Amino acid sequence: MPMPSKLQVGTGELRVTPAFSVGLEGYQGAPLAQAVERFLGNVTRRTGLFIGVDPAAADKSTLVIYTEHAGSAVQELGEDESYALNVTAAGAKLSAANPLGILRGLQTFLQLIQLTPAGWVVNAVQIEDAPRFPWRGLMIDVSRHFIQMDTLKRNVDAMEAVKLNVLHLHLSDDQGFRLQNKEFPKLTESGSDGQFYTQAEMRELVEYAGERGIRVVPEFDMPGHSTAWFVGYPELSSGPGPYAIERRWGIFDPAMDPTREETYKFLDKFIGEMAAFFPDHYFHIGGDEVNGKQWDANPKIQEFKREHKLKSNEELQAYFTQRVEKLVRKHHKTMVGWDEILVPGMPEEIVIQSWRGQDSLAKAAQQGYRGLLSSGYYLDAMAPAGKYYAVDPMSNADAALTPEQQKRILGGEAAAWAEFISDENNESRIWPRAAAIAERLWSPQEMRDPESMYARLAGVNQELEQLGLRQRSNMQVMLGRMAGNDDIPALRILAEVVEPVSITIREKEAESAGGIQTSDIALNRLVDAVEPESEMAREFSVAVNQLVSSNFQDAQAEAYIRSSLIRWRDNDAALQPVLQASYLPQEAVPVSKNLNALAVSGLQALDYVEKKQVAPESWRAQQSALVQNAAKPTADLSLAIAPAIQKLIDAGASAK
């Protein structure tokens, strides 16, 4: 995963033993040698075999790598990532134009290693592969909650495994400025609560990503979402100040003053330093969600608008964006920004990242602009992998685009906004679901069977843990914290069938409870620990569908469903003492009771069907009400098995 564009299964299998070796042909440079060494380490991780890392002669190697030529000094957008991989029982050959293609092919090889009764093997196969889109990104918001460097590196490891190639860091927002700036040290000294990356740390990350064929694109959001800049440099803002780091979530009034020349002098120096620091050719300036209130309240800005015949705040922002674009260009970078930056007069080089959707993107493409889709790829929306998988950057408008215009759709980016993501659950909020987006952006458009995707996603999930990711082990740690000890099987059973509600609901619930969500509030609740998508509930739902469509003849499905229901029914008794013993899991008391009630309903329904009885309508009404109640968000959790239980109830109340 992602599925290669062309794949032909051969006969026989290549054995992977401790004598496995890799030899290089064609171009051989330091990046390749390093890639091979890392690859051999990963083969060891995957198999547990101790594979020697000494280089081997090409003609005696298990895997021969042929590389035509070196890659660009700085990885380019659209640089060739294609490769061909040919595995036979006698050996394997991986060929690519440059080291970048080799990196991609090595990940494919790694995924092909399988454990069989005879040992570790790779089945014979012929693969020709190339990405559908050249920009396949993951955006991580490190501003709203600070994310540790080690966590970012683990994300990079995972990105490489699924062939994503852009790490987009949202480095500043109202809630924090996260990268040291030497010209303007107060950006982090005053604007980060002490939580920021030094340039030395960031340089290491950029190198780390570069070795893995991943570009790092920095984003500094302006002119809005910029409160954290103003804590140290209030003169940049359009209001009187002083400012403090914002603790709430939302869109806030502070915005840079687009009318003062000092603003552009500041940004010239700032962008200059950052443009020199980040090697990538693209530079993201955000540009989203300016509410204009500070501009309206400032007479000098009003005066400026009149003078310059700027009729609206949108036009004022357009003026700002055009000035900033010139600064970005002056420092030899290409500007990227959210939808709002696309204003008349923008040069065609810029890249639009769309939170508005495919139509917005297509419209931009028709006007000659390149774009990226992020709408539909917000991982913090907590949608299931299948939903992200179904979102295609060209799904609506591609028919209307000429081939040349279609080329302007560069790809997309999964986005992990961090209102409810901490360093601790960052990985579980991103992985494995981002792998579904990675496949959407790499594999051919026709590949869209969610069942096949889910089957492979489980394998990726396991592979990522082998790489050291903590998307699941941190859930264990968080559940252990809640329980106060390690005796958590009952808590885990509950955790496996609930899903976090969407952020919108979570915020509404907090408001209606009279509270307000801020960045100070701990993310240590059950909703923060559980996986965004319940695999257990998905499997259960598949089994219920099978059972119903088999007219209740599928004995295996029934046995699985019944044993699941019994486990859930009995879990509440074991779990209640744990929930009630400490304040963290207490809120889940009704959730556990609801799970018990749903399971009892489901078992009754099965009994009706088995006895070939039709349940009375009153029973159906009562149970359905119970399902509806259980389906309501409680403790910001939803019981993901509720729809499948409703199906069982409906079947129990139907004529057989």
Active site residues: 289
Q: Are strands 91-96 and 63-67 parallel, antiparallel or unpaired?
A: parallel
Span from 265-273, 339-347, 361-369, 457-465 in contact with a copy of itself (CB under 8 A): 457-465
Tokens of 508: 């509404």
Told to check if 78 binds a copy of itself by CB under 8 A, we report no
Tokens 């054995």, residue? 15
Minimal distance, residue 198 CB to a copy of itself, in Å: 14
How far, in whole angstroms, is CA 367 from its chain's centroid? 29
Q: Which residue stretch of 338-346, 353-361, 479-487, 591-599 sits at the interface with a copy of itself (rule: CB under 8 A)?
A: 479-487
Distance from C-alpha of 325 to C-alpha of 330, rounded to nearest angstrom: 8
The nearest distance, CB 523 to a copy of itself, in angstroms, is 7
**Could you write out the three-class secondary structure of 557-625?**
HHHHHHHHHHHHHHHHHHHHHHHHHCHHHHCCHHHHHHHHHHHHHHHHHHHHHHCCCCCCHHHHHHHHH
Q: Give the containing element (helix H, strand E) for 394.
A: none
**Token pair belonging to 519:** 């960045």
246 binds a copy of itself (CB under 8 A): no
Which residue, 194 or 345, has its beta carbon nearer to a copy of itself? 194
For residue 116, the number of C-alpha atoms closer than 13 Å in the C-beta half-sphere is 14
d(CA 188, CA 178): 6
307 touches a copy of itself (CB under 8 A): no
- Encoded tokens for 26: 């064609």
Site size for a copy of itself, by CB under 8 A? Answer: 54
Q: Is 481 in the site for a copy of itself (CB under 8 A)?
A: yes
State the Cα–Cα distance between residues 402 and 530, nearest whole angstrom.
44
Which range touches a copy of itself (CB under 8 A), out of 90-98, 198-206, 579-587, 602-610?
Answer: 579-587
For a copy of itself, the binding residue among 86, 199, 406, 466 (CB under 8 A) is: 466
Residue 583 contacts a copy of itself per CB under 8 A: yes
- Token pair 């790694």 in the structure block, residue: 110
- Shortest distance (Å) from residue 44 CB to a copy of itself: 9
CB 197, min distance to a copy of itself, A = 15
Residue pointed to by tokens 């070796």: 21
**Could you tell me if 411 and 438 are in contact, meaning their C-beta atoms sit under 8 angstroms apart?**
no
| Separation between Cα atoms, residue 397 and residue 540, nearest integer Å | 36
Query: Under the criterion CB under 8 A, does residue 422 sit at the interface with a copy of itself?
Result: yes
Q: Does 496 bind a copy of itself (CB under 8 A)?
A: no
Tell me: does residue 484 bind a copy of itself (CB under 8 A): yes
- Smallest separation (angstroms) from a copy of itself to the CB of 476: 7
Residues 164-203 vs a copy of itself: string with x where CB under 8 A? -----------------------------xxx--------
Please pick, from the candidates 29, 91, 459, 590, the single residue that binds a copy of itself as defined by CB under 8 A: 459
Strands 6-15 vs 119-129: parallel, antiparallel or unpaired: antiparallel
Q: Does 519 bind a copy of itself (CB under 8 A)?
A: yes
Name the segment binding a copy of itself (CB under 8 A); options: 41-49, 163-171, 173-181, 305-313: 41-49
Residue 108 near residue 165, CB atoms below 8 Å: no
* 589 belongs to the binding site for a copy of itself (CB under 8 A): no
Position of tokens 């494995």? 432
Least Cβ distance, residue 495 to a copy of itself (angstroms): 15
Q: Which amino acid is at 104?
A: R
Euclidean distance between CA atoms 141 and 122, whole angstroms: 38
- Site for a copy of itself, rule CB under 8 A: 18, 37, 45-50, 52-54, 114-119, 145, 193-195, 422, 424, 458-459, 461-462, 465-466, 470, 472-473, 476-478, 480-482, 484-486, 519-524, 528, 580-584, 586
